[in-house]
Amino acid sequence: MCGIVGYVGPDSNQRALDVIVEGLSRLEYRGYDSAGVALVADGEIAWRKKAGKLANLRSDIEAHPMPPSTTGIGHTRWATHGGPTDQNAHPHLGGEDDKVALIHNGIVENFHVLKTELLAEGVTFRSETDTEVAAQLLARAYGETGDLTEAMRVVCNRLEGAFTLLAVHADLPGTVVAARRNSPLVIGLGDGENFLGSDVAAFIGHTKSAMEVDQDQIVTITKDSVDVVGFDGTPAEGKRFEVTWDAAQAEKGGHSSFMVKEILEQPAAINDTLLGRTNEAGELVLDEMRIDPARLAAIDEIVIVACGTAFYSGLTAKYAIEHWTRIPCAVELAHEFRYCDPVVDERTLVVSISQSGETMDTLMAVKHARELGALTISICNTHGATIPRESDAALYTHAGPEIAVASTKAFTAQIAACYVLGLYLAQLRGGSQAEAAQQVMRELHEVPAKVDTLLGSMDRVREIARFMADTRSVLFLGRHVGYPIALEGALKLKEIAYIHAEGFAAGELKHGPIALIEPGQPVFIVVPSPSTPHNLHDKVVSNIQEIRARGARTLVIAEEGDESVVPFADEVIRVPATSPLLAPLLTIVPLQVFAAELAAAKGLDVDQPRNLAKSVTVE
């Protein structure tokens, strides 16, 4: 939630505003209900902030130009405390002379106590936000210490909750101070200029050289220095890394939306996630995880924790992991995990799945699991993010930057990464499944080409979506690995097309949901491959007949060559054949395309759906 940018550049080049607004445009997916900037110029803070998308702020700045400056901060917001108004937008100013400007991502949980204290001392507030409390406290602390870094340290030691803070002071051109606790912050290292951002997208147009910031640390940047200290004042060193993707990957590249582009990038996302995971003998090697294989081999339970789409990727992978490893695998919503008194110990492997690596609920679940002694692995798409750093090991998906709020390529990459992990565990445990692992890995490598072929045959799905633009409700059915795909298909439609959509396990139909079927009700059915054991395919075909008999309009996703569905389908959407456990990497694709096209047909903002934000960094 919320995108944050900070910049200090050379005196010769007073372009802070341009750099910050460009960074905000790349971070807008993190939150987009208001935006603002603050610059240090001529001994004052120049600021603008506007409710609505970044475009509103840009127009305001065009109408009321800002002064040239080397130093500034910028923010794009997802509202927590106080509605999305001009007043509640960041930056917030502090002190009687408004010399401090501060932006914030996260929630200051004890803001009420602090605000009461400040009000009693005569401070007046101009917003309903928790952030303004931090701005006022910082102004005070600066008055007492005369040092912005030290003042930030004093403030951070009073705040409870999760926060990334960035601040500038009117008397300090050339300096931005930042702090983080349980909320993202990364440093961009330029030549004669330095950057701060919620993620590397903030500065990817300028440098690929970056530095991680640890929990409870304060960073002070000037144009040619970066200093890090802990909240306790101990000097610290950041860890440098190179960003592996470039600015072009964070552009739409001629596509109508990032979501459409990212759907099309799935063959590469899956392929890159599988790359380098096997040695010449075809064995899986996950050296990057740096976990003692003996410890991994000894686990007797797997618990996957994640939220939203990432949760559904875990639910999908569970079938394969259990089949390959014969280890029980539970999949828990991260925000429930902590509160259900989970039974985990040192023989439990807790696998978190998170595209951003910053989802607060997932982070808290991982921390809780570690406290209970579990071994933790993070499947993550974002290098240097908090969750992988708080885990015992990380297995990165290589999907590249995912900008659209609705997750697509990260989903399929997450499933691929889970498969790699499952196969690796099977290999460690030995036996017949270990031998099978190499064969499955070979088959997995064929999937990206199949996804590519499938993407080339989506015209009819787009047509159906346009035709259904006025639909008010869509149901999704699936069974076995098709069940989580039905859930994910429904989620995609809800979040970007604002259509009531529900996914069900097809076997559950007769236990209640079939009452929803009335003439004309559109229902997508994800049909298992005919080669799925236990006649599951035939059972789902019977389910199709049952709903068709009650008037449902059946949109059937079935494998090439499966003719048995044809008599009962109003539409058949074909996917290339693959083994049943790998099929979700294909069957989800038409549902993603359907949602994106339908949302576009309704004239909605496909990439930035209402009320949502890409990275949910508050609980």
Residue ranges that bind ligand F6R, judged by CB under 6 A: 307-310, 354-356, 359, 362, 406-407, 491, 495, 615-616
Q: How far is the CB of 407 from ligand F6R (least distance, A)?
A: 3
Closest CB to ligand F6R among 491 and 599?
491
Quick one: 307 or 585, whose CB is closer to ligand F6R?
307
415 closest CA partner among 381, 365, 455: 381
149 or 352: CB nearest ligand F6R: 352
As a whole number of Å, the CA-based R_g of the chain is 25
| Min CB(268)–ligand F6R separation in Å | 19
CB 47 within 8 A of CB 35: no
What is the per-residue DSSP string for 487-532?
HHHHHHHHHHH--EEEEEEGGGGGGTGGGG--TT-EEEEEPPPTTS
Active site residues per annotation: 2, 614
How many residues does this entry show for the chain? 619
Cβ-proximal residue to ligand F6R, closest one: 308
Cβ distance to ligand F6R smaller for residue 127 or 362: 362
Burial class (CB in 10 A: 0-12, 13-18, 19+), 358: buried
Report, in Å, the least distance between residue 487 CB and ligand F6R. 11
Kindly give, in sequence order, each residue whose CB lies less than 8 Å from that of residue 352, ignoring residues fewer than 6 positions away: 304, 305, 306, 334, 362, 365, 366, 376, 377, 378, 379, 380, 387, 391
CA distances from 196 to 8, 109, 184, 188 (A): 9, 24, 10, 6
What is the C-alpha to C-alpha distance for residues 101 and 134, in angstroms, rounded to an integer?
10
Q: Which is nearer to ligand F6R, 383 or 537 (CB)?
A: 383
82 alpha carbon, distance to own chain's centre? 24
Q: How far is CA 591 from CA 8, 251, 568, 572, in A?
A: 44, 24, 19, 13
Distance CA 11, CA 410 (A): 41
**Cα–Cα–Cα angle for 337, 339, 344, rounded to 5 degrees:** 55
Q: Residues 177, 183, 184, CA angle at the centre, nearest 5°?
A: 70
